[in-house]
């Protein structure tokens, strides 16, 4: 509720802010924990700005639960709508807003000759392909701070930095298999236990840290 109240407050200030200095725009290019991104920024006045941006990146890595090794494919796809408050009329800013969260994590189990699922050994034929999907809440609030040294300037390049967090909540992990045991009740019980382990592993992503560095050009 505090996050919602803060967003509404800053949104109200944005609506009623003076617009006599509202003819300054910037384009920002950045790289960070959400991937490679680009933003358009509109300066409302000496204190407020609004940003609309998008980020994208793909990353593959290996990991495991207690019993199973996985190959993970992480796809980072987000769109942001942010309001910035510059309390000192300079580059420092406090930011809040919303992210459309299209991030997704896919997992495929890897094993040489057998799989150990919840203490039971299954052959590749019995298990088939063990696939996992981790989805995140599609709309998530953001809070952060940062610097944009081009803010308030007539034109030119500036340094750009963001530090913050996307509060995306607990992700939803699901496992499926298509082997000969895929409809066996005992196997389904073991699969549910493995799914719970995967869920526990990805729960650490409830709050996603945002760190970004880049350059801005104001015109």
Domain definitions of the chain by residue range? 2-218
Q: What is the value of pTM for the model shown?
A: 0.80
Distances (CA, A) of 208 to 20, 101, 111, 129, 174: 37, 11, 30, 30, 20
C-beta of residue 40 within 8 angstroms of C-beta of residue 218 = no
b/e sequence 19-39, b meaning 16+ C-beta within 10 Å: eeeeebebebebebebbebeb
Phi, psi of 150, rounded to the nearest 5 degrees:
-90, -10
Burial (CB < 10 A; 0-12, 13-18, 19+), residue 62, is exposed
Specify the fold of 2-218. Porin (2.40.160)
| Cα-based torsion angle of the residue sequence 46, 24, 157, 145 in order, rounded to the nearest 10 degrees | 40
pLDDT in tens, the chain (219 residues): 544 444 444 444 444 444 344 348 999 999 999 999 999 999 999 999 999 999 999 999 888 777 788 898 999 999 999 999 999 989 999 999 999 999 998 989 877 678 888 889 999 899 888 999 999 999 999 999 999 998 988 788 999 999 999 999 999 999 999 999 999 999 999 999 989 988 988 888 899 999 999 999 988
């Amino acid at each position: 509720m505090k996050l919602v109240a803060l967003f509404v407050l800053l949104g109200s200030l944005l609506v009623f802010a003076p617009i006599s200095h509202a003819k300054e725009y910037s384009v920002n290019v950045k790289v960070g924990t959400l991937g490679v991104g680009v933003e358009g920024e509109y300066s409302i006045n000496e204190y407020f700005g609004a940003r609309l941006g998008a980020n994208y990146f793909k990353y593959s890595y290996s990991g495991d639960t207690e019993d199973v090794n996985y190959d993970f494919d992480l796809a980072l796809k987000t769109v942001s709508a942010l309001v910035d408050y510059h309390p000192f009329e300079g580059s420092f800013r406090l930011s809040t807003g919303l992210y459309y969260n299209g991030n997704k994590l896919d997992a495929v189990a890897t094993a040489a000759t057998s799989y150990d699922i919840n203490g039971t050994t299954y052959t590749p034929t019995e298990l088939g392909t063990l696939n996992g999907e981790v989805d995140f809440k599609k709309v998530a609030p953001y809070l952060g701070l940062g610097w944009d040294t081009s803010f308030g300037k007539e034109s030119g390049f500036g340094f750009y930095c963001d530090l913050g967090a996307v509060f995306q909540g607990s992700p939803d992990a699901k496992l499926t298999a298509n082997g000969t045991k895929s409809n066996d009740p005992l196997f389904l019980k073991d699969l549910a236990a493995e799914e719970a382990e995967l869920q526990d592993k990805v729960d650490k992503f409830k709050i996603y840290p945002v760190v970004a560095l880049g350059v801005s050009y104001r015109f």
